[in-house]
Chain A
Amino acid sequence: MHMHRLEKIWLTAGVSMLVVFLLVLGIMTFGRGIAPPNEHIHRIDPTKVSETPPFDKPQITKIGDNVYKAVMVAYAFGYDPIPMEVPAGATVHFEITSSDVVHGFEIPGTNVNVMVTPGEVSHVSHTFDKPGEYLILCNEYCGIAHEMMKTTLVVK
């Protein structure tokens, strides 16, 4: 099919940019492990969250040198456990599931932003360098008090 010379130049430039973008995203994902959530890491019966370990006891525990694991349950309209506190510089590995509908898990000002789908467990980690009170909020519509669904993580 005939194409104008200028159009060939235009499309070559455009497609090259797309290729560069994709290479950056691909190298980050597969080479450096900076990736979105993955396939099923483990599943859970969403109707039995309160009796299935570790979600029967939502808590934040120290698992190493300034490394914490936060086992959390999202529900309409809040998160367990409360309250949560870690020292500055702590790395927190969050494991979250939902005991009812689909929720979000977002910490504004960080790159923590995952969906919490019932039946699945979402994993996300973050290192909190700066002290402060971090807001954790639900960013997927979940019902009448969706805009109230929040908790905080205090970094001291």
Chain B
Amino acid sequence: MTDSKLSTFDRKDGQLVIAHVLFAFAALLLGGIAGMLQGMVKGGTITLPANIGYYELLTAHGVLMALIFTTYFIVGFLYSGVSQTLGGRLLPLTKRLGWIGYWLMSIGTLIGVVVILLGKASVLYTFYAPMKASPWFYVALALVVIGSWLSGFGIFYQYVQWRKTNKGKLSPLFAFMSVITMLLWQIATIGVAIEVVVQLIPWSFGWVETVNVVLSRTLFWFFGHPLVYFWLLPAYMCWYVIIPKIIGGKIFSDALARMSFVLFLLFSIPVGFHHQLMEPGISHFWKYLQVVLTFMVVIPSLMTAFSLFATFELNGRSKGTKGLFGWVKVLPWKDVRFFAPFMGMLIFIPAGAGGLINASNQMNAVVHNTLWVTGHFHLTVATSVALTFFGIVYWLIPVVTGRVLTPRLNKLGIIQTVIWCVGMFFMSGSMHTVGLLGSPRRTAYSTYDDHPDAIMWIPYHVAMAIGGIILFAGVLLIIYNIIALMRAPKGETEYPIGEVSDASEPTPRFLENWKLWIALTVILIVIAYTIPVIDQINNPTPGSPGYVTW
């Protein structure tokens, strides 16, 4: 029977997937401990023992959550879907690249965490020069990035081989989206790779005296903004491809889904200046141009919102619901595989609106480097993306380990989702509010010599700490759920890959014209970056020696 064969996930591939997922959640646990302690320090409820610094914890929290948890989970998730949709198993070379990538990233993570905990790299996950960390911190980051490249090459290889053996066929939507996500990652990480390898490593080893600070920041943010889309696109993949299957519906349109991913590839990279709006050294024109391009990247998100709710409504209609909102009733609210990602979608609405505010050129002065920004990305990556990833786990672990989700675990998953939303309401809500009042991000407990403005912020910081404690309970519960999923009863779970609605139009072939999309991506990058970067190189800011200020 072909059906039963398809529903069995290749066990060897499953091991690679599970290795990534478990590593991701170990990072989440460590990062969560750091995060909760930070919240309590900042709220003034505890002081750390003398040998642990607030900024050490903050560096660990940022690196483990934003870089390690996300990257491992994404690679694991994409490999699972590539195995499932591109031939039913990973090709030997793909699997080998996946494992080499895994070990390179793991060695990098290990070195990085040790260096951070030794207090040799309290430079936060943005590591802005001229603060100079131990060279091994930068080497560790380079290993993580190179490892992720190899994993990406594995996906490209499998995709190319599939297209060769399936000439003329449209590639599976999941695989297409995986390729876009990894392509975005490969292009974006070139910026940070140049910064780390050409600028920071030689400088931190002492081979060169000084560093061009403005250029290093530009290279970092060339990477730093597409990074957030690297987190977001896999969540979108779940929303586009997985959720329709879980609710028993169909994908609204294959073509529009692909089009939105192509737009993400085009517009998410040439936008890094919107993180540098408040610094000198870049002219109004180039800042504004990148603000315009930043706003363009809203369009694929608008398309996504339409497609998702169209899927929900069509599904409702096919089940005979009536009225404008009748479809809401037939959504599987009690299924965590739907509920967790759905809450992520819902929260992405205010999160995305906040992003537009941040990118609004001179208006950025109101919120730049305040806790508002921290509140913003705790809604986007730490809620929309994280809840979607949590929702994926409840079927992904059963699929790859040959187990089934039990009703009890499903219920615990729903509870976990609610805890997360409540915790984030307190934490991110307070961050947004107190940020508008001016409270700066990335600061330990301080009353600024009892300045009345700063005293007024304290109650909000306490509310943030309460939110942080609730969220930590959420971290513990998801860790428990993962362990329980690994021990769930044996059985077959189907990989939920959605099918395209019969009513939708066929997908135009130009959407898989990679030469076209890569060329356009490069052209946009060249337009947005060439002149300002040449200016930063030919007309450089005087170099800075390194400083260890922690």
Contact = CB atoms under 8 A, between A and B. Distances in A.
A39 B280 CA distance: 6
A21 B298 CA distance: 12
Contacts of A112: 365
Interface string B262-299: 00000000000000111111111001100110011011
Interface in B218-244: none
B306 A144 contact: no
A94 to B, nearest CB: 12
B542 A43 contact: yes
A30 B550 CA distance: 41
19 contacts: A7-B306, A36-B362, A38-B282, A76-B549, A102-B131, A106-B369, A106-B370, A114-B278, A114-B279, A114-B365, A117-B280, A118-B213, A118-B544, A138-B440, A139-B440, A143-B131, A144-B549, A146-B442, A146-B444
A106 B505 CA distance: 53
Contacts of A114: 278-280, 365
Contacts of A108: 437-439, 453-454
A7 B131 CA distance: 48
Contacts of A152: 451
Q: How large is the interface on B (under 10, 10 to 19, 20 to 34, 35 or more residues)?
A: 35 or more
B324 to A, nearest CB: 13
A49 B343 CA distance: 52
Interface string A112-127: 1111011111110000
B542 A46 contact: yes
Interface of B: 53, 55, 58, 122, 124, 128, 130-131, 213-214, 217, 253, 255-256, 259, 276-284, 287-288, 291-292, 295-296, 298-299, 302-303, 306, 310, 356, 360-366, 368-370, 437-446, 448-449, 451, 453-454, 505, 508, 535, 539, 541-545, 547, 549-550
Contacts of B288: 25-26, 29-30
A121 B542 CA distance: 12
B360 A21 contact: yes
Contacts of B443: 139, 141, 146-147
A3 B284 contact: no
Nearest to A115: B279
Contacts of A29: 284, 288, 361-362
Contacts of B544: 46-47, 101, 118-119
Given A1-B259, A118-B213, A135 B280 contact: no
B465 to A, nearest CB: 15
Nearest to B291: A25
A7 B302 CA distance: 9
Interface in A22-39: 22, 25-26, 28-30, 34-39
B542 A45 contact: yes
B524 to A, nearest CB: 17
A43 to B, nearest CB: 6
A115 B214 CA distance: 11
Interface centre among B366, B437, B441, B547 (most CB of A within 10 A): B547
A119 B361 contact: no
Interface centre among B277, B438, B535 (most CB of A within 10 A): B438
A121 B369 contact: no
Interface in A52-105: 76-77, 100-102, 104
A135 B365 contact: no
A154 interface: no
Contacts of A10: 302, 306
Nearest to A113: B365
A117 B281 contact: yes
Interface of A: 1-4, 6-7, 10-11, 14-15, 18, 21-22, 25-26, 28-30, 34-41, 43-47, 76-77, 100-102, 104, 106, 108-109, 111-115, 117-123, 133, 135, 137-144, 146-148, 150, 152
Contacts of B508: 1
A32 to B, nearest CB: 10
B213 A102 contact: yes
Nearest to B448: A150
A100 to B, nearest CB: 5
A101 B282 contact: no
A57 B549 CA distance: 24
B356 A21 contact: yes
Given A38-B284, A135-B448, A119 B362 contact: no
B440 A28 contact: no
B441 A36 contact: no
Contacts of B446: 147-148
B442 A141 contact: yes
Contacts of A122: 279-280
Nearest to B298: A18
Given A104-B369, A141-B55, A147-B443, A117 B541 contact: yes
A148 B550 CA distance: 13
Given A100-B130, A113-B368, A147 B444 contact: yes
Contacts of B276: 115
A3 B360 contact: no
A71 to B, nearest CB: 15
Given A29-B284, A39-B282, A21 B365 contact: no
Contacts of B370: 106, 113, 139
Nearest to A26: B288
A76 B547 CA distance: 10
B369 A139 contact: yes
A38 B280 contact: yes
A38 B541 contact: no
Nearest to B504: A2
A124 to B, nearest CB: 9
A118 B215 CA distance: 12
Contacts of A46: 130, 542-544
A150 to B, nearest CB: 5
Interface centre among B364, B368, B508 (most CB of A within 10 A): B368
Contacts of B449: 150
Contacts of B253: 2, 4
Given A14-B299, A147-B446, A121 B280 contact: yes
Contacts of A43: 541-542
B366 A146 contact: no
A43 B212 CA distance: 12
A44 B542 contact: yes
Contacts of B292: 22
Nearest to A124: B365
Given A2-B255, A142-B131, A144-B55, A36 B214 contact: no
